[in-house]
Chains A and B, each alone.
Chain A
Amino acid sequence: MITIQNLKKSFRTEEVETLALNNVNLTVEEGEFVAIMGPSGCGKSTLLNIIGMLDNPTEGSYNFAGHEVGGLKESQRTQLRKGNLGFVFQSFNLIDELTVYENVELPLIYLKMGKAERKEKVMKVLERMKIAHREKHFPQQLSGGQQQRVAISRAVVTNPKLILADEPTGNLDSKNGIEVMNLLTELNQEGTTIVMVTHSDRDSHYAHRVVNLFDGQIVTESQNRAIGAMM
């Protein structure tokens, strides 16, 4: 699904040029669950931004589901992203002014889906995430774990091929963290590809494969055994 070859990303300020990613080569197969690990500043988030089509690489090639993404304009990237990609963030990133229902509904609106269909999909996913009873609440009225479940609902409501998760348990206590990881595993088992950036060794064990980044380069890749419900 994802093929990255010789990918480079540099940031230029007035005085210095920083190479955030250097010659990264990575392939992610459909249905895979990949964890990206590494110390702070190693380029994990930059890589996730590029995979998520939020940013363009400086050099190299990135192929997503048969489309070369590297040179696309922002509007073209937006089109490709829509419905194909779901995002889960460490800080949830829900829109404060929208209710739980409306937050989850948002990507469907951007897909120009009809109201009845939207309602059906949103309710289905909220029920699945066990958060339907909170549909009329605003994000601030929910606990961190609940907020992350809403964020995951929003990420999966379009049935994306790929979910990108950036430290999805970073702001959660261990109980809620495990719940979130179980949800992601479930989604993966249903066929959704997941790429997750994490600091947590525990979380990385949910993945099939762990990619270790250091100073912008992939230093090691290791296969995990299938975990199922680990804990």
Chain B
Amino acid sequence: MFRNYIKIAWRNLRFNRLFSAINIVGLSFGLTIVLLLFLFISHERSFDSMFPKKDRIHRSIIKTNGDFGFDTWATVPPITSLAMKEEMTHVESAARLLKHNFGRPASLRINNQNYTEDMLYWADKELVSIFDIALVRGDGATALDRPGTVILSEKAARTYFNGENPLGKTILIDSDNELEVTGVYKDFPENSTLDADMLASSNGSWFYDRRSWSNASFETYCLLKENVSTDDAQVQLNQLFEANVDEDNRWFSFALQPLEKVHLYSASYGNSYTSRIGDINEVRNMTYLAILILLIACVNYMNLTTARSQKRSKEVGISKTLGATSRSLVGRFYMETGLIAAISIFLGIVFAILLLPGFNRLTNQNLGLDLLWTPTFLTVTIAVWLITTLFSGLYPSLYLSRFLPKEILSPSLKRGMGNILIRKGLVVMQFAASTALIVGVMVIYQQTDYVQNKDLGFAADNVMAISIGGLRGNENRDALTQELENFTEVTAVSMAQGYPSMDVSGRSLRKNNLEEQGLNIQTNVADGGIIDALKLKLLAGSGLPKNKAKNDTLVEVVLNKKAIDYLGYTPEEAIGKEVYMGNPYTVVGVVDNFNYESLHQPIGAYAFHNAPTEGKSFMLVRFNSANLAKTINSLKTAFNKVAPNIDFNYTFLDQSLETLYAREKRAGQISVVFCLLAVFIAALGLFGLAAYTAEQRRKEIGIRKVLGASVAKISQMLSKDFAKLVLIALMIGFPVAYFFMENWLQGFAYRIDIQWWVFALAGSIALAIALVTVSFQAIRAALTNPTKSLRTE
């Protein structure tokens, strides 16, 4: 019997090629996306699962209050791990991680060659045992014991030592710190939060024994003892904190984050060093989207399958008169659905393999095909096949198998109109979703465009940031400034701790040191060239002094408007005033507000100052060049002249700013793909409904034609009904889209307003797609010879 079912199903596919193709293509497109999304979701969910002690590993985080607002930071003070090891009975081990120079690239010199390394971390030796980092060379137990030691990933060892054994070799970091290679470890997998390519021993570093409860800059992982709960350890940590720090200085409290939560639940945390931060909301949204797409594809299958009900009813009727039961017919239609779903899944996998590189680009991932051959993927594929079959087959099998055999003997008897309502409802829902997505895509693009073209209060174009972390000595730095200023293409040069789009230092701004409450302010060590380099608008006073005498201990500061508004000064009044940011600073200039963070954040207080509290890691160079490659080359030559032992490493400011909106860009691109897909599938659904209606109205169309109706008139008559459905869909889709997009835009401090014409355009697009789809069927129906349709009645 089963063979017979499959045979009929297979021949049905073959004999109705167009319908089968539409059906299979619709379903397999949907399944392709579902499979790709599954790869993405499972990759995200698999983070850090490879570490054997993962259940006991926790990251300590802090929740700030007071001047810094209510925020969560992934970094904690340097004493945390020391105190944990020494005083917490719940903790077995703990280790700190500090990205080189608070997240700046490191300049390396190896075998007389210069390199730049972005993934150098300073770490406590315990990190190796906590994460069971496997060493392929050297001894993990002792590799980071001594001061001045470093272990490399296999990738870094290959890059820097060309396959030679690097053990015992030395690496010069930032011109003054020589490290000996004592081990090579297996590369951290793609789904590991730890992304270091070089782990240098904290022993001997400035923070090694720093017992301070401030300067929360250290990512700290601890290993809890067996059977200790997160909550208990967290309570103990906070008790320890409270015992050591008086209440006035407690501007944060501690929390412990289990390792399994680190990747997906830290998107909003500040100060995380890893380059691999996930977002549970993104994973959830992707999951919902996968389910939605699967649903739409299944609904589409139902629509298209039942669209041929007239023909199928005959088959059902015959089978029933010959002894088939409803149950066996349900089985038969499920068999058919299962077959189509299997073909679609197969095609879906093929498409997924073909589209994986594109999907990786779209989602900024590096998912491998190997994920396709895991037992989980196989299980999920089978599950998706079963769900698709059961769900898609539900309506057709129940609907079709209910046909009564007497209906084939009395073809004039027609089934009720109930199912047409369901079918129309399904199409309305599909189109509502599609129009909502069209509106969404348009709004996302408008906002992205606005973000990219908004006046940020400074000019990010034609500015290059050259890493100078490795350049030692003021003479060298001044010499480099001189060299660069000599170029005619260079219009401004400034050394700074950081640049807009990059974290600098957080301090608290006060009018005088008696005030209790302060304002969180970002401070950036810079020199006199910064205003010209960034083209900031000076409101009063001047920039920082270009030259400072060696014995001049006065610390100058240029504040932005937001900062002096807080202090209650006008720009002019502020000049010459003393303000406090831990230490006293003298205001020499006021610049207008500028967006130093992404446009998600409102502008806060910002200061450029010249206290030597932090190092200046970048040389910002504004240039005006017709030949960029040539300019870069000349700058490189000049740089190498002053700093022959440092790699010439640079980035462009405007490109760096773009990375702030990588997530929006990704969301935009993904939504375009989903939008196209949803519209395509909805159009298929409509095609099915149009075909069904044309079939249902064959006789009517025949009679109208006999009575003199033209092809155009009949096409118009059929299309009108569908236009009504699309209009209903718009009424549902628009408010939904408005609600979601308003919500999305609220995440931006600077945003567009949704315009009425977006809806008009989206509606027109949806209507146009619908009419084109329907008119194909309508014209075909209208062109049919009426004698044909009337004879069969």
Contacts and interface: CB of A to CB of B under 8 A. Distances in A.
Contacts of B320: 54, 78
Nearest to B792: A91
A148 to B, nearest CB: 14
A106 B322 contact: yes
Given A97-B8, A98-B7, A109-B1, A54 B322 contact: no
A107 B325 CA distance: 12
Most buried by A among B8, B317, B323: B323
Contact of A54 (B319, B324, B405): B405
B402 to A, nearest CB: 10
Contacts of B789: none
B323 A81 contact: yes
B326 A97 contact: no
A86 B150 CA distance: 89
Given A45-B410, A109-B1, A95 B323 contact: no
A89 B405 CA distance: 12
Contact of B321 (A87, A111, A112): A87
A93 B326 contact: no
Interface in B291-332: 314-315, 317-326, 328
Nearest to B328: A110
A169 B15 CA distance: 28
B398 interface: no
A52 interface: yes
Query: For the complex, would chain A's binding face be called helix, strand, loop or mixed by DSSP majority?
Result: mixed
A70 to B, nearest CB: 16
Given A78-B320, A93-B314, A45 B409 contact: yes
A95 B315 contact: yes
B4 A102 contact: yes
A110 B324 contact: yes
Interface in A82-105: 82-83, 85, 87, 89, 93-98, 102
A49 interface: yes
A75 interface: yes
B406 interface: yes
Nearest to A197: B409
Interface string B327-348: 0100000000000000000000
B404 interface: yes
Interface residues of A, number: 31
B406 A74 contact: no
A46 B406 CA distance: 9
Contacts of A98: 7-8, 11
A112 to B, nearest CB: 8
A107 B8 CA distance: 15
Given A54-B404, A110-B324, A95 B7 contact: no
A203 interface: no
A154 B322 CA distance: 9
B142 interface: no
A198 to B, nearest CB: 14
Contact of B318 (A85, A95, A166): A95
A55 B663 CA distance: 63
Contacts of B4: 102, 106, 109
B325 A75 contact: yes
Given A81-B321, A95-B315, A107-B323, A49 B8 contact: no
Contact of A97 (B11, B323, B324, B408): B11
Given A78-B325, A97-B11, A102-B4, A48 B319 contact: no
25 contacts: A45-B410, A46-B410, A49-B406, A49-B409, A55-B404, A55-B406, A74-B404, A75-B326, A78-B320, A78-B323, A78-B324, A78-B325, A89-B409, A93-B317, A94-B318, A97-B11, A98-B8, A98-B11, A106-B4, A106-B322, A110-B322, A110-B324, A111-B323, A112-B1, A154-B322
Closest 4 CB pairs of A and B: A110-B323, A82-B323, A97-B11, A54-B406
